[in-house]
Amino acid sequence: MAIAPMGLTLMFFPILMPALIKKTSALSCYRAGTMLFCVINALLPSMRLAKAAGPDVLWICLIAFALIRSVGGVMTFIPTAIILNAMLKDARNVGFYNGLNDSLSALGKALAPTATGSLFAAMTTSQVVANASLINATANALRLQEPVFPFDEHLPFFFISSLCLVALFLSFYFYK
């Protein structure tokens, strides 16, 4: 049920995007989508609070998060292609740069789940921390320590949000 808003967004939002881009601009849509990604990824670890509030609140939050995330995705990826094509002055290189853009996007989509999943797994398990004393090399030299905020389950999501902030900053810096 939480995936249904994503499917609806992917079906209908690309139809609405040309009107939205015409009314604003591709760059404005890109920035809005990047901000949505940044906010939703920073708030995603708080889903634990929705679970504690009950199943109805959890499902409402899941559907809202899925909808916002999918709208942010469409508002980011479609304008990226438009901005890239607008920046290319030489028509001979359009195919090369579109292919490079798609290849790097696919590489990111392949590597990101592995990297953030590994980071999430590392941050949610108890970490073994070595004692600083070299003299006391007994069984007490290693002790389990619980991760603390933000070096817990929040870290991968904050990392993704920080990447979104970098992309947002670069959109103001490079493309005016």
pLDDT at 2 (0 to 100): 55
What pLDDT was estimated at residue 132?
41
Q: Find the range with the poorest average confidence among 8-17, 32-41, 131-140.
A: 131-140
Listing DSSP states for 127-160 in one string gives EEEE-S-SS--SGGGEEEE---TTSSTHHHHHHH
Of the candidate ranges 7-11, 35-39, 120-124, the one whose mean pLDDT is the lowest: 120-124
Q: What is the pTM of this model?
A: 0.75
> Of 32, 40, 36, nearest to 158 (Cα)?
40
Maximal CA-CA distance, the chain = 70
- Over residues 47-93, the pLDDT tens digits come to 888 888 888 998 898 888 888 888 888 888 888 888 888 888 777 88
Of 13, 23, 19, 22, the C-alpha closest to 77 is: 13
